Amino acid sequence: MKKFKLRRFASFVYVAVMAVLAFMYFTNDYGLVDIRKTAVIIGAGIDRTDDNMSVTAQVAVPNPSSGGGSTRYIEVEAEGPTVAAALNGINKKTGFYPKLVFCKLIVLGQSCSEGDILEVLDYFYRDDYTQLTPSVAMCEGSARSLLGSDMAFGNTATVSIERLLSDEAKRSGNVSVADLKDIGLLQSSPSAAFFMPFIRPKSSSAGGAEQPSSGDSAGSEGKQGEGESGGGGSEFLCDRTAVFTKGAFAGVLSEEDSMAFNLLKSDVRHVFVPCSDGEELYTLGLRSCSGSATAGEEGGRPVITLSFSAVAQLADTSVPSEASQKSEGEVPEGALRAGEAAVRGMFSSLLDALRAADCDVLGLKNGLYRFAPALYRKYGGSLLSSAEVVYNISLRSAG
């Protein structure tokens, strides 16, 4: 019979206990949380009141019942002199531990445009438990009303707006999407300008964004999680872009200017551009888009070059064409030139708007600082206002 070795057995027990404890330690099993006392913030809205910050958190409340109950969403609002104080107010009000780890959207009410926007966002850059991944947007009216609105698409305002700010929307050039990281990076660049999508109700008659929140008090009745509340809800658009210089609100770009901005700065895959050649109206579908805004020097003077190239397809026209022409897919030369003129017009309008706001959201100074530091030192101060503009736009037919 094999002799029982106490020392070996003790070693084995020690290693086993150590492994179990280490596993529990690293997987946070010591930090078990009572699901009934937990709230996950999926979206946050921030408004400025007289001297305070008002934070409205859209909270997913896990429902531990086994009777098929789904996650409930409620809006909880609290005020404080800072965002952190307001979040603490939510904790005081509800007893929930507000977790921002899963927060995917931060909506700033229009009132936030009155001061330095970075004062509002500062908390999210400081908090160790908040990632820089949430999308940030500004809305017309108050963020609290927006988050409390019934949505036509999606079960909660956060989910609906997230859809509007999706990668697909970004790639179609309709939305300028920015997250906390983008904003922080752009603000700390030599250009010191950043952007975020501007959310507005589809029509003023819809009025959804201005209606008082259904969740204006702690723990107010929320929406059941599953399924979409079809019909009757508010519809919102994110096709405009709010721009900021040195933390201060500089204005809202129109839909056309926003699209021009996206063509230059975003990874746009497919975009529709309407244009006209004399009497004929065309809608060009542009693919393989490549845009850039750079600054340089030509003949001893600063120059801004706005470049754009794409492959064009004729998506629609006011004059019906024959089937053989459609199958060849060739875009008439006139339509291509008209498309280039349309794009150039959009770029020109965008640059005028940015010059008027003195907002280098195109990152021209940043480009100079990185690639031509000597030119940055020479022209950095007055680049936007003093530089000549060169347009380099090229569309080619897909057919």
**What tokens appear for 98 in the block?**
């507000």
Alpha-carbon distances of 274 from 277, 313, 318, 357, 393, rounded to whole Å: 11, 12, 11, 27, 16
CB atoms within 10 A of CB 399: 14
List 17, 35, 356, 390, residue binding other proteins (CB under 8 A): 17
List 24, 35, 356, 390, residue binding other proteins (CB under 8 A): 24
88 is a contact residue toward other proteins (CB under 8 A): no
373 is a contact residue toward other proteins (CB under 8 A): yes
356 is a contact residue toward other proteins (CB under 8 A): no
12 is a contact residue toward other proteins (CB under 8 A): no
97 is a contact residue toward other proteins (CB under 8 A): yes
Number of DSSP helices (H) and strands (E) in the chain, helices first: 13, 14
* 28 dihedral zone (left: phi>0; alpha: psi -120 to 50; beta): left
Could you tell me the smallest distance in angstroms from the CB atom of residue 40 to other proteins? 10
List 7, 34, 129, 320, residue binding other proteins (CB under 8 A): 129
354 near 285, Cβ under 8 Å?
A: no
132 is a contact residue toward other proteins (CB under 8 A): yes
List 60, 86, 104, 310, residue binding other proteins (CB under 8 A): 104
Could you tell me the smallest distance in angstroms from the CB atom of residue 32 to other proteins? 11
Residue with tokens 């927006």: 146
Nearer CB in complex with other proteins: 189/307: 189
Where in 159-198 is the site for other proteins (CB under 8 A)? 167, 181, 184-185, 188-189
337 is a contact residue toward other proteins (CB under 8 A): no
Where in 33-52 is the site for other proteins (CB under 8 A)? 33
3-state secondary structure of 53: strand
124 is a contact residue toward other proteins (CB under 8 A): no
Nearer CB in complex with other proteins: 207/373: 373
Could you tell me the smallest distance in angstroms from the CB atom of residue 232 to other proteins? 29
369 is a contact residue toward other proteins (CB under 8 A): yes
Site map (CB under 8 A) of other proteins, residues 277-316, x = contact: ----------------------------------------
Could you tell me the smallest distance in angstroms from the CB atom of residue 348 to other proteins? 26
| Beta pairing partners, 244 | 194, 249
Give the helix/strand (H/E) hosting 135: strand 135-139
131 is a contact residue toward other proteins (CB under 8 A): yes
Scanning 28-36, 208-216, 220-228, 247-255 for contacts with other proteins by CB under 8 A, the matching segment is 28-36
List 79, 84, 93, 99, residue binding other proteins (CB under 8 A): 99
Scanning 25-33, 47-55, 80-88, 317-325 for contacts with other proteins by CB under 8 A, the matching segment is 25-33
**What tokens appear for 248 in the block?**
């201060």
160 near 129, Cβ under 8 Å?
A: no
DSSP state of 330: P
List 8, 28, 65, 300, residue binding other proteins (CB under 8 A): 28
CB atoms within 10 A of CB 270: 16
Could you tell me the smallest distance in angstroms from the CB atom of residue 254 to other proteins? 28
3-state percent helix, strand, coil for the chain, nearest multiple of 5? 35, 30, 30
Q: What distance in Å separates the CA atoms of residue 87 and residue 93, rounded to the nearest whole number?
A: 10
140 near 209, Cβ under 8 Å?
A: yes
Could you tell me the smallest distance in angstroms from the CB atom of residue 128 to other proteins? 5
**What tokens appear for 240 in the block?**
């405009």
Residues 6+ apart with CB under 8 A from 395: 284, 286, 309, 310, 311, 312, 331, 336, 339, 340, 343
Residues 6+ apart with CB under 8 A from 243: 193, 194, 195, 250, 251, 252, 253, 354, 357, 359, 361
Task: Name the residues that contact other proteins, by CB under 8 A.
Answer: 14-15, 17-18, 21-22, 24-28, 30-31, 33, 97, 99, 101, 104, 125-126, 128-129, 131-133, 167, 181, 184-185, 188-189, 369-371, 373
